[in-house]
Amino acid sequence: YSVFNPVATLFQAHYSHNVALTVEGVVGDQYIQKLAQLEEDWDGYGAERIDSTVISQARDSYAYFCRCTSAPELSPNAHGTISFEWSSKRGTAHLEIGVIDFSFYLQPSFGDSFYLQDKHLSSEREKITRLINSELFPSLKSENSIGKFYVGSRGVRATESV
């Protein structure tokens, strides 16, 4: 016996299998898709358009992180990359995704920082998640908060978390 839920069925049909089917996953995925619509000079200071490769990697990564850790804040960067940022009382972590490679750093409130740069983000997501969870969110609960999304004054308006 199963119950047909038309909203859930439409919801699942609309989003690809790699999107975390949570509020965080859907809101973040929609936001990243909007970033793909930003034109050259979206910030009024010569910002580059975000390449479709960056959008794709950001969507996949956001879905992964929403399943494994706290939802990050998202922001586009003027040089065509997308940043993910996590923060807690225990420190901050920052991931920047580009066309060719990515960079990640974690700065705990106490202790040594950690830096990683590579060309293959998908193979490093698990390591990044372990670092974020152990250093920033050691008592992570199953419910995540919605991340904040930022864009410059001429792009998409900022969406406040709820």
Tens digit of pLDDT for each residue in 54-97?
999 999 999 999 888 988 999 999 999 999 999 999 999 999 99
* Closest by CA position to 129, among listed 20, 5, 48: 20
Q: Does position 125 have pLDDT exceeding 90, yes or no?
A: yes
Answer whether 63's CB lies under 8 Å from 25's CB.
Answer: yes
Answer whether 75's CB lies under 8 Å from 67's CB.
Answer: no
Alpha-carbon gap, residue 162 to 150, rounded angstroms: 14
* Mean of pLDDT over the chain: 80
Q: Does position 156 have pLDDT exceeding 60, yes or no?
A: no
What pLDDT is stored for residue 21 in this prediction? 54
Confidence of residue 27 (pLDDT cuts 50, 70, 90): confident
Count other C-beta atoms under 10 Å from residue 143's C-beta. Answer: 9
